[in-house]
A and B are shown apart, each in its own frame.
Chain A
């Protein structure tokens, strides 16, 4: 009998995935770990495992320290403070999985967005700046007349106000608001697109003015003490006048000039730069600064997240570096996808660019993105454990696999079980995610048929 069951790509992929025995086994392990992590508080309440931070009390404390695995009530033994290792392991798993999933999800979302924008708009320079006397702007004036002038002035005024009269936070919010306004204007029928551009150019004038002002400002502040003393070296004096000259030249250029920026070039340069940074040292620096309770950033994170501040910090830091790989992958995929016929068809039908990117291009790139996300979970867990191990990640008494190992290192010869279990936990979890990633890579590749 002919099969008339519909076979979607996903059922095919699932069938291929099932043949990858290690991947299925690993998926089982991940599900088990997630279930354990989610039910940890319940297990404590049921009395199946003790509280991870519960320290024994009573006269003979030493007898409950360093209990070997297999002791009744402590299947994996106790640590140097008599705390239950199994319970700490389960609670550590909560943190590891939370960090892993959150980091992977956020990095992949950001990376996909950035990569898709870079890939789709590559080679199409965006007119970032057009001076009031530039041909582009004069043409705009011819179409929109007074409305264009008014909106440009509104943009200029708002931007100048935001730069000079508000706090950085407010300015950022205001900037986002202005972008949104331009985007909404752009969607209006008729003159909408022209007006949005008018608003944007007004904004860009403010950027140029602000930049010219900054140059002069910096030069004056730097030269001021020397000028007052009257011992400015010739080079410094030359620099001082050069800065003024440069600012003037910039303003002159601003009247008639245009600056076109290729978003892809900008994003690619940023990615290149981030890749040239040495990873771990920068991570150490970042986490050290964020952890400092005296610093503004330390205060902010502490007030926002309270006890969980160190978890939030570690997630934030890992995302800062995590989005890059996804962005590179997605950019490359979109660059090739946008050249294919279905994109041309969508463009011919007049589908909006947002829709083309997110409904036509990104779904076609979803397989590598999913694989990348899976691998990122493993990587995030690995890096978190490493940072916590060095003492920069999540701080005790919150138990994580990394900081359990830090403590265990001192008793490695006396109580090796303290190191073995967290070490195995990290290895097993990362291995599971890597195998699932491998399995997904094979399963989601339409060229591999079953």
Chain B
């Protein structure tokens, strides 16, 4: 088991290698001037793009260029992000907490909420509750993230004047920036809701949470719908199996049959989906952050793609590939831990 996990982790560089080859390969479809920006570290250098093309052999064959990129990347230089006007790694580091905070608050509620609803629907099969949950699941499954997001912005924020857009109210951002400069407010984790507590600033925590409500709800509703569907059908499968009949024949109460017997087994496919949800969340985050104006990784990627900022795009792609691969490994390991029938030799 441990050996399997270690082997999978050792395979990670291969995944990243292939992803980077694919993306750098795609970059070849762009003219050298457009690609030169990948090697610019500061704004002054942008003026001397021709020299950079020569210096980095940007009109050389693909493998020469890939080699150059790889050597730079291994030294920790992923290029300069034009969108953020700072090196790519630094940009990722500043923006990661914003996305992480969003995913953190969305992931667990989505999972618990939809497992609960899916189980409920399966237990009440074909009755009103089941019908209702199914209709809601299909509707939210069909609802694009951005339509739901815009609707929430318009109705809840615009009309009901509840919650907020962005990360914090503007005056608080300015205040925090000043206090951070003066050393009165320290960013321990970058997660504002947590840093507020650590600094003893309950107002910051509350404001941060208030601004996270709408994007979190958007992610939960759109992603949860899928899990509800899977959970319901998996639970129905389990409820039809022989061991459930045996359990009932033994005279076990329905509650025990449902929650102790059937649901435990029904959870197995949901684990796979939960891992995939990480990937879905990275997709969802691009759109959610754009709509709710959160300065996270998703917004960065969207802006980088608009401006054809290759170093940022490449950095984001590698980062997401890493996250997705790690999530997949976690799922496989969890799988074996939960289901003794699954063994990796």
Known A413-B154, A416-B154, A438-B138: A294·B30 in contact at CB below 8 Å: yes
Interface stretch (choices B81-89, B190-198, B249-257, B301-309) = B301-309
Q: Most chain-B CB neighbours within 10 Å: which of A292, A295, A435, A438?
A: A295
- Leading 10 A-B pairs by shortest Cβ distance: A278-B320, A280-B283, A284-B305, A430-B142, A423-B147, A431-B142, A288-B305, A297-B29, A295-B29, A295-B30
In residues 292-321 of chain B, which contact A (Cβ within 8 Å)? Answer: 301-302, 305-306, 308, 313, 316-317, 320-321
Known A288-B306, A292-B30, A412-B158: A280·B282 in contact at CB below 8 Å: yes
Q: Across the interface, do B26 and A273 meet the contact criterion of CB distance under 8 Å?
A: no
Which residues of chain A are within 8 angstroms of B205 by Cβ–Cβ distance?
none
Which residues of chain B are within 8 angstroms of A282 by Cβ–Cβ distance?
317
Q: Mark A280-311, 1 if CB is under 8 A from B, else 0.
A: 11101111111010111110000000000000
B93 near A: Cβ within 8 Å?
Answer: no
B139 near A: Cβ within 8 Å?
Answer: yes
Q: Mark B13-46, 1 if CB is under 8 A from A, else 0.
A: 0010011001100110111001000000000000
Which residues of chain B are within 8 angstroms of A408 by Cβ–Cβ distance?
150
Q: Across the interface, do A405 and B146 meet the contact criterion of CB distance under 8 Å?
A: yes
Residue from the list A218, A285, A290, A416 in contact with B63, Cβ < 8 A: A218
Q: Across the interface, do A221 and B34 meet the contact criterion of CB distance under 8 Å?
A: no
Which residues of chain B are within 8 angstroms of A276 by Cβ–Cβ distance?
15, 321, 324-325, 328
> For the complex, what is the distance from the CA of A431 to the CA of B147, rounded to whole Å?
13
Q: Across the interface, do A434 and B142 meet the contact criterion of CB distance under 8 Å?
A: yes
Which residues of chain B are within 8 angstroms of A391 by Cβ–Cβ distance?
306
Which residues of chain B are within 8 angstroms of A431 by Cβ–Cβ distance?
138-139, 142
> For the complex, what is the distance from the CA of A288 to the CA of B83, rounded to whole Å?
15
Known A390-B290, A434-B138: A278·B283 in contact at CB below 8 Å: yes
In residues 110-150 of chain B, which contact A (Cβ within 8 Å)? Answer: 138-139, 141-147, 150
Q: Mark B133-177, 1 if CB is under 8 A from A, else 0.
A: 000001101111111001101100010000000000000000000
Q: Across the interface, do B308 and A292 meet the contact criterion of CB distance under 8 Å?
A: yes
Which residues of chain A are within 8 angstroms of B22 by Cβ–Cβ distance?
277
Other A-B pairs, 20, CB within 8 Å; known A273-B18, A276-B321, A427-B142: A273-B15, A278-B283, A278-B317, A278-B323, A284-B302, A285-B23, A287-B305, A297-B29, A378-B142, A386-B145, A386-B146, A389-B144, A390-B287, A405-B150, A412-B153, A413-B158, A416-B154, A423-B147, A427-B143, A434-B141
Residue of A nearest to B64 (CB): A221
CB distance from B336 to the nearest CB of A (A): 18
> For the complex, what is the distance from the CA of A434 to the CA of B151, rounded to whole Å?
21
A426 near B: Cβ within 8 Å?
Answer: yes
> For the complex, what is the distance from the CA of A273 to the CA of B325, rounded to whole Å?
10
Residue of A nearest to B316 (CB): A281
**Residues in chain A within 8 A of chain B (CB atoms):** 218, 221-222, 273, 276-282, 284-290, 292, 294-298, 378, 382, 385-386, 389-392, 405, 408-409, 412-413, 416, 419, 423, 426-427, 430-431, 434-435, 438
Known A222-B63, A284-B286, A423-B151: A277·B146 in contact at CB below 8 Å: no
B67 near A: Cβ within 8 Å?
Answer: yes
**Residues in chain B within 8 A of chain A (CB atoms):** 15, 18-19, 22-23, 26-27, 29-31, 34, 60-61, 63-64, 67, 138-139, 141-147, 150-151, 153-154, 158, 279, 282-283, 286-287, 290-291, 301-302, 305-306, 308, 313, 316-317, 320-321, 323-325, 328
Q: Across the interface, do A296 and B317 meet the contact criterion of CB distance under 8 Å?
A: no
10 contacts between A and B (CB under 8 A): A277-B321, A289-B26, A290-B29, A294-B30, A295-B29, A382-B144, A386-B287, A391-B306, A408-B150, A430-B142
Which residues of chain B are within 8 angstroms of A423 by Cβ–Cβ distance?
147, 150-151
Which residues of chain A are within 8 angstroms of B29 by Cβ–Cβ distance?
289-290, 295-298
> For the complex, what is the distance from the CA of A404 to the CA of B84, rounded to whole Å?
28
> For the complex, what is the distance from the CA of A344 to the CA of B142, rounded to whole Å?
42
Which residues of chain B are within 8 angstroms of A427 by Cβ–Cβ distance?
139, 142-144, 147
Residue of B nearest to A273 (CB): B18
Q: Across the interface, do A280 and B286 meet the contact criterion of CB distance under 8 Å?
A: yes
Residue from the list A222, A278, A285 in contact with B279, Cβ < 8 A: A278
Residue from the list A285, A392, A412 in contact with B154, Cβ < 8 A: A412
Q: Most chain-B CB neighbours within 10 Å: which of A222, A284, A385, A413?
A: A284
Q: Across the interface, do B144 and A288 meet the contact criterion of CB distance under 8 Å?
A: no
Residue of B nearest to A218 (CB): B63
Which residues of chain A are within 8 angstroms of B302 by Cβ–Cβ distance?
284, 390
Known A413-B154, A413-B158, A431-B138: A281·B320 in contact at CB below 8 Å: yes
CB distance from B247 to the nearest CB of A (A): 25
CB distance from A68 to the nearest CB of B (A): 16
CB distance from A291 to the nearest CB of B (A): 9
Residue of A nearest to B158 (CB): A413
Q: Across the interface, do A409 and B305 meet the contact criterion of CB distance under 8 Å?
A: no
> For the complex, what is the distance from the CA of A280 to the CA of B279, rounded to whole Å?
9
Residue of A nearest to B278 (CB): A278
Known A222-B67, A281-B286, A288-B305: A385·B144 in contact at CB below 8 Å: yes
CB distance from A449 to the nearest CB of B (A): 17
Known A222-B63, A276-B325: A435·B138 in contact at CB below 8 Å: yes
Q: Most chain-A CB neighbours within 10 Å: which of B29, B146, B147, B283?
A: B147
Residue of B nearest to A221 (CB): B64
> For the complex, what is the distance from the CA of A382 to the CA of B282, rounded to whole Å?
17
> For the complex, what is the distance from the CA of A209 to the CA of B291, rounded to whole Å?
53
Known A276-B15, A438-B138: A281·B317 in contact at CB below 8 Å: yes
> For the complex, what is the distance from the CA of A294 to the CA of B165, rounded to whole Å?
37
CB distance from B228 to the nearest CB of A (A): 14
CB distance from B67 to the nearest CB of A (A): 5
CB distance from B59 to the nearest CB of A (A): 13
CB distance from A121 to the nearest CB of B (A): 24
CB distance from B345 to the nearest CB of A (A): 18
Which residues of chain A are within 8 angstroms of B290 by Cβ–Cβ distance?
390
Which residues of chain A are within 8 angstroms of B147 by Cβ–Cβ distance?
405, 423, 426-427
> For the complex, what is the distance from the CA of A430 to the CA of B139, rounded to whole Å?
9
Q: Most chain-A CB neighbours within 10 Å: which of B30, B142, B291, B321?
A: B142
Which residues of chain B are within 8 angstroms of A294 by Cβ–Cβ distance?
30-31, 34
CB distance from B135 to the nearest CB of A (A): 8
Residue of A nearest to B284 (CB): A280
Q: Across the interface, do B286 and A285 meet the contact criterion of CB distance under 8 Å?
A: no
> For the complex, what is the distance from the CA of A413 to the CA of B317, rounded to whole Å?
35
Which residues of chain A are within 8 angstroms of B316 by Cβ–Cβ distance?
281
> For the complex, what is the distance from the CA of A378 to the CA of B142, rounded to whole Å?
8
> For the complex, what is the distance from the CA of A391 to the CA of B138, rounded to whole Å?
27
Q: Across the interface, do A284 and B313 meet the contact criterion of CB distance under 8 Å?
A: yes
Which residues of chain A are within 8 angstroms of B279 by Cβ–Cβ distance?
278-279
Which residues of chain B are within 8 angstroms of A285 by Cβ–Cβ distance?
23, 26, 305, 313, 317
Which residues of chain A are within 8 angstroms of B154 by Cβ–Cβ distance?
412-413, 416, 419
Which residues of chain A are within 8 angstroms of B306 by Cβ–Cβ distance?
288, 391-392
